[in-house]
Structure 1
Amino acid sequence: MNLSIVIPLLNEEESLHELHNWIVSVMEKNSYSYEILFIDDGSTDNSWPIIETLSHENANVKGIRFMKNFGKSQALHAGFAAAKGDVVITMDADLQDDPEEIPELYAMIANDKYDLVSGWKKKRYDNVVMKNLPSKLFNWAARMTSGVKLHDFNCGLKSYQNRVVKNVEVSGEMHRYIPVLAKNAGFKKIGEKVVKHRARKYGETKFGMNRFINGFLDLITIWFLSRFGKQPMHLFGALGSIMFVIGFLAAGYIGASKLIRLYDHEPTILVTENPWFYISLATMIIGTQLFLAGFLGEIILRARQGNDRYKVSDTVNL
């Protein structure tokens, strides 16, 4: 099979027929063998009945329905697990991603041998204040932190080799950072393509300003995981050692100053009246806690087992 089109969605009943027909037109024009995977992330409108209808009309349409809204990352994870195509394309269901971009994205994977190609919405039709400016700041921070030189990390239109989606663990809100996850997994050939961005035709965006706050928090998380995720003791142990050495030196200073005063027959003060006592005590306690955090992290890392991050209520054609 040439292509798997993975489409996560939430309450997009108005756009599904049009999107399906447009994708099918592109597939037939290019003689691709394909499957379209709609991942219904707990929609409360008629999105799932429409997906069922489309699956009866077109055997290439497949669907996965979550019991409730678990998030885009979990929807992509489910789609990636089910995808069978040699090349996997992800796109949003709101008609802002143009299916006419699919052949070039496919060719960059199949012919140019990229592992992953990310779309770049160079010209956007979103609200400048609410989305464009925060998005530019977010993308700049992601480039500086991750070392992946992309202009638009959050573009939903991407193409992947099948082996990439099978080896990248997408969880939490990490769908924004799939290129970074791919790089951390060892996939180095990451490309970018300028893609058309269309104004939203139906409904309203499902994302608010809080997604950028969450995005920056996730960026810190993924930076930490990429650096210390496999060996947390390297961070916490080092910090704990530094704090413990500071505390030990402070305690040594207290002891030495008391001995010097005794030797010189000078009046001494109680140890607890010396501020260095509390500095020593606090840093030693913090150092011990950091050590324990490192040990616990190592234990959890070795003992953890995969847990379901979403629940599926229905599937079609799978």
Structure 2
Amino acid sequence: MSVDISVIDISVIIPLKNEEESLPELVAWIAKVMEAHRFTYEVWMVDDGSTDSSWEVIQRLAADDDRIRAIRFRRNYGKSAALNEGFRSARGNVVITMDADLQDSPDEIPELYRMIMEDGYDLVSGWKKKRYDNTFTKNLPSKLYNWTTTKMSGVKLHDMNCGLKAYRKKVVKSIEVYGEMHRYIPVIAKWAGFRNIGEKVVEHRARKYGVTKFGLERFINGFLDLASIMFIGKFGKRPMHLFGALGTLFFLAGFGIAFYLAFAKIFFDRYNMTDRPIFYLAILFMIIGSQLFLTGFIGELVARNAPERNTYLIEETI
């Protein structure tokens, strides 16, 4: 099908790996929903290094419908990389992300679109309130991460990692996703200045084909990426404010202990300073403090010479 689209309402981004069985059904389902609501749309499928015939299936689907677009990675880079490339390519006023395994329902698209365009949200995240995942390996860890992320970031969502999300176009063009940071896109969006973040209860379906592509390592990687996001968001342009403050505190603590020991030695002469273990703690504190301060200084030099040091997201100008 050849379609001339001058204004695109919705871009659907589908990161995938080894989902050859589900793709035709998913594309047909999306088309049915879009046509029923008369949306103009495009679908971007990002093949993240599939080893089955997923790419051949995508080629056939794209040959039949010009609204189907695709990107193929030479190897597996991860979901964040797939989403980032999809965000770069998307042209729709609203961008919808969903998984390719049919566990996300395209029937949710119209309401997600309405919440962005009519309710004024910058980002709407799905909430899989009723799940069909294994309780131990997914449910409990997800609840722990959602609670931790909410407390650390202030973004109050029940299901931060839900693949079904809707974005205003300006959001996806303003953020960068890498590593395992797809789990924390709402946090990245908040730090970029998009604070109108909503949530919608969405249907979660049992996996129909294939197996999950995520292992237990995602828990460790997820925590490390959350720490990175929090640091970059708060101190990315001013690292000295963190490392300099910590370094000063450590150095002053060590110096205070050393001053006390010297005072006691001079006026009371009861012991040798080096005979007390606390003396070595004072030295350690001063060394750590000096190293942290120098780290902040070097970080400040790097930040001030970075090409994006004075790049800011401007909402409007009069």
Using structure 1 for the length normalisation, give the TM-score: 0.90
**Offset at residue 21 of structure 1 (A):** 0.8
* Separation in structure 1 between the aligned mates of residue 143 and residue 71 of structure 2, nearest angstrom: 33
Q: Deviations over 1:100-143 (max 9, x none)?
A: 11011111111111101000111111111221122112211111
Q: Who is 1:235 aligned against?
A: 242
**Offset at residue 214 of structure 1 (A):** 2.1
Q: Deviations over 1:30-66 (max 9, x none)?
A: 1111110001111111111111111111001111111
1:60 equivalent in alignment to 2:67: yes
C-alpha distance 198-246 of structure 1, shift in aligned 2 (>3 A): same
* Separation in structure 1 between the aligned mates of residue 270 and residue 75 of structure 2, nearest angstrom: 72
Once the two structures are superposed, the pairs formed by residues 110-129 of structure 1 within 5 Å of their partners are: 110-129=117-136
Q: Who is 1:257 aligned against?
A: 264
Q: Who is 1:291 aligned against?
A: 293
Q: Who is 1:314 aligned against?
A: none
* Separation in structure 2 between the aligned mates of residue 305 and residue 122 of structure 1, nearest angstrom: 43
Indicate the SS of the match to 1:179. helix
Once the two structures are superposed, the pairs formed by residues 302-313 of structure 1 within 5 Å of their partners are: 302-304=304-306
**Offset at residue 304 of structure 1 (A):** 4.2
Q: Who is 2:166 aligned against?
A: 159
1:135 equivalent in alignment to 2:107: no
| Match of residue 32, structure 1, among 34, 39, 44 | 39
Q: How many residue pairs get matched? A: 301
- The percent identity for this pair of structures is 60
Q: Deviations over 1:57-112 (max 9, x none)?
A: 10011111111111101110000000000000000000000001101111111111
**Offset at residue 219 of structure 1 (A):** 2.2
Q: Deviations over 1:249-289 (max 9, x none)?
A: 2222232223214xxxx5763x4334343222211111110
Q: Who is 2:90 aligned against?
A: 83
* Separation in structure 1 between the aligned mates of residue 145 and residue 260 of structure 2, nearest angstrom: 46
Q: Which amino acid aligns with 1:196?
A: E
Moved more, 205-214 or 50-59: 205-214
Q: Who is 2:211 aligned against?
A: 204
| Match of residue 176, structure 1, among 159, 183, 205 | 183
Using structure 2 for the length normalisation, give the TM-score: 0.90
**Offset at residue 222 of structure 1 (A):** 2.1
RMSD: 1.6
Q: Who is 2:107 aligned against?
A: 100
Moved more, 130-139 or 85-94: 130-139
Structure 2 gaps of 5+ residues are: 1-7, 309-318
Moved more, 154-163 or 143-152: 143-152
* Separation in structure 2 between the aligned mates of residue 274 and residue 120 of structure 1, nearest angstrom: 57
| Match of residue 47, structure 1, among 38, 54, 57 | 54
Q: Which amino acid aligns with 1:302?
A: R
Q: Which amino acid aligns with 2:62?
A: S
**Offset at residue 209 of structure 1 (A):** 2.4
* Separation in structure 2 between the aligned mates of residue 267 and residue 63 of structure 1, nearest angstrom: 78
Which structure has more relative contact order (CA 8 Å, sep 6+)? It is 1
Q: Is contact 2:264–2:270 with CA below 8 Å preserved after alignment?
A: no
